[in-house]
């Protein structure tokens, strides 16, 4: 097979703008870069004046003012007060991401329940406002119930700018199609985002649930501002996503990061993907639950197991260590591949014993190349897929504003 030359390969890749583009680029590109830069600064700082925006972007005051006006018109930022002068000069109007007249809707499809909520462009929402219903048995019912729930949030008070959906399956991002959902097969080969968009008239995007939670951690959580990190969740399967040099890793079709479906046991258990012995079958919360029930001769869910352990009615030491050891293998592989600053983990197994997370950390260090292990921090996070759906909606808004500035050149 012929290998493409480096130059030919680069020619097919979209280049990220550099500061030089601001001086020599086309006006439309400059406008787009300014839009995104200003919005991301407001998003990161929470409250900022036009003078600060001009200083932080390197733009002139007239340019900063025009960009702010465009973002207000788009419903993405809003004025929220005036900062008195500090002895001289004029008072400064302050701006923040919009919370009053604009909103996004976040949706989480999960194997056993579905949740819907509205949030401001700052990503915040009230947990008391979440609408939840058991996951239906058919795709049509799933769409109908989700549309009905979303409509309750669509009022004249706030314009809905995007809808983001977190789904437990592989997503072809270009086609916006869920190719395979091993734990929710009614989504296989379906396009729930487009079906909901057709019903509600609001642009809708679907993303894999692990990418969704990764976006949430990147925008609001422990990985805020971190340019290289990996997110791994084990609630339903082995989900992994990565941010590399500030960019979300998606692959050529949006399917990158499926580390959970590498084979680790040649004749292992049947996986929801159709293969046997995937890492997902031995390293996740469901894998741990199956192993406990098989060992103890019971039929418990993970919450029941946790309660029984805390009441000293059940010893899960052996199945827990076995499952965590497999999980350590997956995490170590991710560290060796991506060399991240942080790995964020979410798993209910950490709730079983006080030393479960510490044990996992020790096994990860033992299985990882030492130069990488010494420079990577392992942290525990919650990983809420609904928060991820909200983050996915906001992420798509940001991406639509224009390309990201590459200040490094």
Burial of 147 (0-12, 13-18, 19+ CB in 10 A): middle
**How many Cβ atoms sit within 10 Å of the Cβ of residue 225?**
7
Among the listed residues 213, 125, 198, the one whose alpha carbon sits nearest the alpha carbon of residue 166: 213
123-132, 380-389, 398-407, range with the lowest pLDDT: 398-407
Is the same domain home to 90 and 106?
no
What digits encode the pLDDT tens for the residues 267-312? 899 998 889 999 999 999 999 999 999 988 889 999 999 999 999 9
Is the same domain home to 339 and 266?
yes
Query: What's residue 405's pLDDT?
Result: 60
11-25, 304-318, 345-359, range with the lowest pLDDT: 11-25
Distance CA 290, CA 288 (A): 5
Binned at pLDDT 50, 70 and 90, residue 32 comes out as confident
Residue 79 lies in a domain: yes
> Domain range holding 58?
16-98
CATH number of the domain bearing residue 140: 3.30.420.40
Model pTM? Answer: 0.77
Within 126-258, strands assigned E span: 131-134, 159-167, 170-172, 177-180, 204-208, 229-233, 239-244, 247-248
**Mean predicted confidence (pLDDT) in 255-263:** 88
Listed residues 98, 115, 130: the one ending a domain:
98
Is the same domain home to 305 and 180?
no
- Average pLDDT of the residues of the chain: 88
Angle between helices 139-151 and 192-200 (to 10 degrees): 40
Residue 274 lies in a domain: yes
Is the same domain home to 195 and 304?
no
Residue 36 lies in a domain: yes
Q: Which residues are paired to 241 by β-bridges?
A: 231
DSSP label at residue 260: G
Is the same domain home to 82 and 142?
no
- What is the domain count for the chain? 3
Give the DSSP per-residue string, 229-253: EEEEE-SSS-EEEEEETTEE---SS
Instruction: Return phi, psi of residue 306, to 5°.
Output: -60, -45
Is the same domain home to 297 and 351?
yes
Is the same domain home to 234 and 372?
yes
Residue 407 above 60 pLDDT? no
Among the listed residues 147, 54, 39, 146, the one whose alpha carbon sits nearest the alpha carbon of residue 102: 39
Binned at pLDDT 50, 70 and 90, residue 86 comes out as low
| Inter-residue contact 122 to 79 (CB < 8 Å) | no
């Amino acid at each position: 097979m012929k290998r493409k030359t480096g130059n030919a390969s680069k020619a097919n890749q979209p280049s990220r703008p550099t500061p030089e583009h601001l001086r020599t680029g086309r006006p439309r590109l400059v406008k787009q870069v300014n839009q995104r830069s200003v919005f991301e600064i407001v998003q990161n700082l929470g409250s900022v004046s036009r003078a600060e925006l001009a200083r932080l972007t390197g733009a002139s005051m007239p340019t900063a003012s025009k960009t702010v006006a465009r973002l207000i018109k788009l419903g993405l930022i809003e004025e929220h007060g005036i900062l008195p002068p500090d002895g001289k000069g004029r008072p400064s109007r302050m701006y923040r991401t919009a919370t009053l007249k604009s909103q996004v809707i976040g949706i989480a499809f999960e194997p056993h329940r579905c949740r819907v909520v509205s949030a401001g462009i700052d990503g915040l929402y009230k947990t008391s406002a979440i609408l939840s219903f058991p996951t239906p048995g058919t795709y049509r019912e799933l769409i109908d119930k989700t549309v009905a729930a979303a409509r309750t949030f669509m009022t004249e008070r706030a314009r809905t700018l995007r809808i983001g959906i977190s789904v437990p399956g592989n997503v072809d991002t270009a086609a916006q199609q869920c190719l395979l959902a091993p734990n929710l097969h009614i989504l296989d080969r379906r396009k729930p985002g487009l079906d909901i968009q057709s019903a509600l008239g609001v642009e809708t995007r679907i993303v894999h649930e692990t990418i969704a939670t990764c976006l949430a951690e990147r925008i609001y959580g422990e990985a805020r501002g971190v340019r290289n990190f990996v997110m791994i969740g084990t609630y339903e399967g082995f989900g992994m996503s990565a941010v590399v040099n500030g960019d979300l890793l998606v692959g050529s079709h949006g399917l990158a990061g499926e580390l959970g479906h590498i084979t680790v046991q040649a004749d292992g258990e049947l996986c929801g993907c159709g293969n046997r012995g995937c890492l997902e079958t031995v390293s996740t919360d469901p894998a741990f639950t199956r192993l406990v029930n098989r060992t103890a001769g019971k039929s418990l869910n993970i919450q029941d197991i946790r309660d029984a352990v805390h009441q000293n009615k059940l010893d899960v030491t052996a199945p827990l260590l076995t499952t965590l050891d497999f999980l350590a293998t997956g995490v170590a592989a991710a560290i060796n591949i991506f060399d991240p600053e942080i790995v964020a983990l979410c798993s209910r197994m950490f709730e079983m014993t006080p030393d479960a997370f510490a044990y996992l950390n020790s096994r990860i260090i033992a299985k990882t190349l030492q130069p990488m292990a010494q420079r990577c921090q392992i942290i525990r996070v919650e990983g809420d897929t609904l928060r991820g759906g909200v983050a996915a909606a906001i992420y798509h808004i940001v991406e639509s504003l224009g390309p990201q500035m590459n200040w490094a050149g």
